[in-house]
Amino acid sequence: MSYIDGFLVPVPDGNKEAYRTMAAKAAPIFIEHGALRVVEAWDDDIKTGKTNDFRTAIIAEEGEKVVFSWIEWPSKAVRDVGMQKVMVDERMKPDGDLPFSGPRMIYGGFATIVDEAA
């Protein structure tokens, strides 16, 4: 089964296009290095939780949106090799300031346990 890298990122609302541009530049690099799919999804309907929620998970501030994204890989082995290549790929260097708060981004790798499709 596939392997997933998942991310939650706080992004100032005014940086939506800058974030989208950065993500669109990075996506083909991940795919070139073995990823099957890259998805970036912009906060549209996030409810406030009683104990925790997407916004509190990343300590989102007033005026920030949450980006939920994932990268699908064919396997953890392909991901491990591909991610090493992505991290040293010169094209991944930022052109300036990042359009999001890196210290509050949360991420992790996930082994697929159910995968259904229509």
How much is the CA Rg of the chain, to the nearest whole Å? 15
Judged against a pLDDT cut of 90, whether residue 1 lies above it is answered with: no
The residue among 49 and 95 whose pLDDT is bigger is 49
What is residue 95's predicted lDDT score, i.e. its pLDDT? 82
22, with CB counted inside 10 A (0-12, 13-18, 19+), is: buried
Mean pLDDT over the full length of the chain = 96
Mapped onto helix, strand or coil, the DSSP state of residue 5 is strand
The Cα 83–Cα 1 span in angstroms is: 18
Mapped onto helix, strand or coil, the DSSP state of residue 71 is strand
What is residue 73's predicted lDDT score, i.e. its pLDDT? 98
At 34, the pLDDT band (50, 70, 90 cuts) reads very high
Provide DSSP, 19-43.
HHHHHHHHHHHHHHTT-SEEEEEE-
Spell out the long-range contacts of 43-50 with Cβ–Cβ below 8 A and sequence spacing 24 or more.
Answer: 43/67, 43/68
What is residue 46's predicted lDDT score, i.e. its pLDDT? 94
At 15, the pLDDT band (50, 70, 90 cuts) reads very high
The Cα 52–Cα 108 span in angstroms is: 18
Q: Which of 23-27, 48-52, 94-98 has the lowest mean pLDDT?
A: 94-98
Place of tokens 């346990």: 113
Model confidence pLDDT, tens digit, residues 58-116: 999 999 999 999 999 999 999 999 999 999 999 999 888 899 999 999 999 999 999 99
